[in-house]
Each structure stands twice: as structure tokens, then as C-alpha cells.
Amino acid sequence: MARPTTSGYDGIYVQLDGQPSAKLPLLLAAFKYRFKGDVEAMTQHLVDGVAVGWDELGTDLLTGAPPEVVTALTGGEHWPSSTLDHLITPDGSPPVRMTVTQQTAADQDVQWGYVLRLEGIEVISVPHADAGPVIGWDTDPRTRFSDHPAHWPAPTPSPATTSTRTARPPQTARAAAPPRPRTAARR
């Protein structure tokens, strides 16, 4: 779980980092309901508000979500978020904060990274890419997401242009929309 920086990201270790099919719905719903669209408040809680790291993110992040959303995401189960503050080090010293950056993630055996950006959640398959597509905050949390790393490729850089037009803002990745019904028969 991380915030963007000028050189990548800076975050906190989540032991059960979870695959996109489990984490994205939870994070999208938390943003919409618990944090009421405030990405900074969400980042403060998830990245800055923990002393050592997270063991697991729980359904307490769904506070304020309608019961049908909670049921769709958890099957009606409830469990609390838990931190790694209870760790005991070999020498008895207090555990240190488990910071994760773009440079250290692979060495920490992090499989998935979730960077909380203003436009949405960047999903990074850490063993396969240094960056990933961004899922917009307006994506329905009940959307099904793939856990296969090939579905989360690093964005390809745009080719350099010589045009003097103003550059367009980056596009965010969105979940595939369901097919629209046909309105007329094809011939």
C-alpha cells in the first residue's frame, strides 16, 4: 500500500498483500464509503497511520458501505484489519517500520502493489513490472478483476511528438464494460 512519489512510490508493507480480485474491491469501496472520496485521508490511514506494517486489511474498511455491497464483497463475513505491531525481534528491540519503495519491493517478496493516486489505484504486479495501470476511483467495487499478472502490464510510454498541442492528461485504465444489447438486427 503506497503513495506516489516523484521517483515511484513510498508505502507500507502488507503481509497479506492480496491479489487484485480481493484488494481492489475493498479499496474502491473504502474510498467511496469510509473515506468519502478523500484519497489523502485514505492514504493517511493506510500508509501513514500504522507504526510497523499491516498484517491484513479487513472489512472495517467498508464502514458506511450499503449492506448489499458488503455482502457482494465479503459474502457477509466480517474481520478486522490487523497490524504487525505485535512482532518480536530476535534481540528484543522494538520492530521498525516496514517501508516499501519501488527499489525495495522485489527484495521484500511483495507480489502486488497498490499505489493510491488522485485519479485511482495503480495496480503493480511487482515481480513483473515497476508500474501498472490505474483503476479509476469511479469503478464499481463489485467489478471482477483478474489476478493474472499479464492483465496488469506496465503502461507503455507515449511516443515523442513534435506537435505544439497541449498534452492530454494520462488516461486511467477501467474495467471492461459489459456488452451493450443490440438495438437492431444485423444483416
Question: pLDDT of 33-70, one tens digit each?
Answer: 999 999 999 999 999 999 999 999 999 999 999 999 99
Reading phi first (left if > 0) and then psi (alpha if -120 to 50, else beta), residue 185 is in beta
**168 pLDDT tier (thresholds 50, 70, 90):** very low
Whether 167 has a pLDDT exceeding 60, the answer reads no
Read off the pLDDT band of 175 (50, 70, 90): low
Tell me the Ramachandran region of residue 120: left when phi exceeds 0, alpha when psi lies from -120 to 50, beta otherwise: left
183 or 23, which is more confident? 23
Q: Which pLDDT score, from 0 to 100, does residue 153 have?
A: 93
Percentage of the residues of the chain whose pLDDT score is greater than 90: 72
Residue 187 has pLDDT above 90, yes or no: no
d(CA 83, CA 143): 27
- The residues near 140 (Cβ < 8 Å, ≥ 6 apart) are 28, 175
Exposure class string for 68-97: b at 16+ Cβ within 10 A, else e: ebbebbbeeeeeebebbeeeeeeeeeeeee
Q: What is the pLDDT of residues 119-145, one digit of tens each?
A: 999 999 999 999 999 999 999 999 999
For all residues of the chain together, what is the average pLDDT? 87
How many Å apart are CA 25 and CA 143, to the nearest integer? 7
pLDDT 10s digits, 62-121: 999 999 999 999 999 999 999 998 888 889 888 899 999 999 998 998 999 999 999 999
| pLDDT reported for residue 32 | 98
Which comes out higher in pLDDT, residue 163 or 114? 114
